[in-house]
Amino acid sequence: MFTVIDECYIEVLRLVKQAGSIINEKIYQPKEVVTKSSEIDLVTEWDQKVEKLLINGISSKYPDHKFIGEESTAMGQKVELTNAPTWIIDPIDGTMNFVHGLPHTCISVALLINKTAEIGIVYNPILDQLFTARKGQGAFLNGAPIHVSDKKELRNSLLMLETGTSRDPEQLEAILQNINKLITRVHGIRTLGSAALNICMVALGGADIYFEFGIHAWDFAAGELIVREAGGVSIDPAGGPLDVLSRRALCASSMELAQELSKLITQYYPERD
């Protein structure tokens, strides 16, 4: 039976592909860049235009739906997650990559209803990687099913992480401590410059575990559904349930792996969204 969520999925996928063509066209062109919270927290006119395209397109079809968007939040809109259908949008995750022309950049869109993720889409138009998930229906890359790896121990795992855009000394110290702790305990450490794509690498089985402090709901709301639908887990880095507004996330191929990492790392608790 065709449902409202089916209709939402078809509509947002159309808008995401339309937005992706903009990113594809503009990534190697000169851009006007301004800073937000720090000198390396960047935004371009295209971040704002892509978010506007997505929000306007969804609103025209579903006027009662709510939004949490990176750029609208940066402009002062309050983050508020209720039980109402809420779209959580990062128009360009990996803006620094987009500015430099590094092709690891994506659109991330999630739909939450009753604070539960129903749809997750992460689209890298440069490399033509479309990651999708629906609650209870599995995860896909360009329409083909994907699944997390079988790794259950850190010593056999490839770890994804980021240093982030904050220059808060306490956060930087925690990041450096964790890199020092982990570098000899894992197969390797990788960083794509996009939280959403890092998580999707875990969903794909190309990496095994990811964690980050200081990210936002729009960075990981779509990806964490994708990784769970691919057979993985999403938890708080301290080991408890994931809170989409906590600005903390850990995604892994197995709960055993997630809990091993959570017991080892130095924790950092940023201000909530």
Catalytic residues: 70, 90, 92-93, 95, 219
Topology of 4-145 in CATH? Fructose-1,6-Bisphosphatase; Chain A, domain 1 (3.30.540)
Across the range 219-223, mean pLDDT stands at 98
Q: What is the pLDDT of residues 121-142, one digit of tens each?
A: 999 999 999 999 999 999 999 9
CA angle 94/97/100 to nearest 5° reads 150
pLDDT tier for residue 36 given thresholds of 50, 70 and 90: confident
Q: Which of 10, 28, 18 is nearest to 51 (CA)?
A: 18
Which position has the higher pLDDT, 2 or 217? 217
Distance of alpha carbon 239 from alpha carbon 253, whole angstroms: 15
Topology of 154-264 in CATH? D-Maltodextrin-Binding Protein; domain 2 (3.40.190)
Q: Which of 125, 128, 139, 49 is nearest to 89 (CA)?
A: 49
Mean per-residue pLDDT over the chain, rounded: 96
The ranges assigned to domains in the chain are 4-145, 154-264
Which position has the higher pLDDT, 54 or 43? 54
Residue 134's φ and ψ, nearest 5 degrees, are -125, 140
